[in-house]
Amino acid sequence: MTHKVVICREPTCAARMIFLPTRNGSNMPIDADSVSADDVVFDPPRHVSHYATCKKPNRFGKGKKK
């Protein structure tokens, strides 16, 4: 499976990330370096959530704070 790599929209971050579904079906932004080509579901022990590494993680998502 080929994952679509996107760039974080936060200008001070601009990291590469991939969206993977969680076990409950919502999409989670994952740091691209922690994802293998055959990964299909977010697995917390293996993948690094981009919310943990982004310089301004609260800027996007449900609790948008600009």
In tens, the pLDDT along 9-59 reads 888 999 999 999 999 999 999 999 999 999 999 999 999 999 999 988 776
pLDDT digits (tens, 9 = 90+) for 25-37: 999 999 999 999 9
- Whether 16 is covered by a domain: the verdict is yes
Domain count, the chain: 1
- Whether 65 is covered by a domain: the verdict is no
Domain with 25, as residue range(s), is 6-58
Length of the chain: 66
- Whether 63 is covered by a domain: the verdict is no
Of 5, 9, 6, whose CA–CA distance to 54 is shortest?
A: 9
Q: Is 32 helix (H, G, I), strand (E, B) or coil?
A: helix
Count how many Cα atoms sit within 13 Å of the Cα of residue 18 in the half-sphere of its side chain.
Answer: 20
- Whether 15 is covered by a domain: the verdict is yes
pTM: 0.79
- Whether 35 is covered by a domain: the verdict is yes
For residue 57, what pLDDT is reported? 76
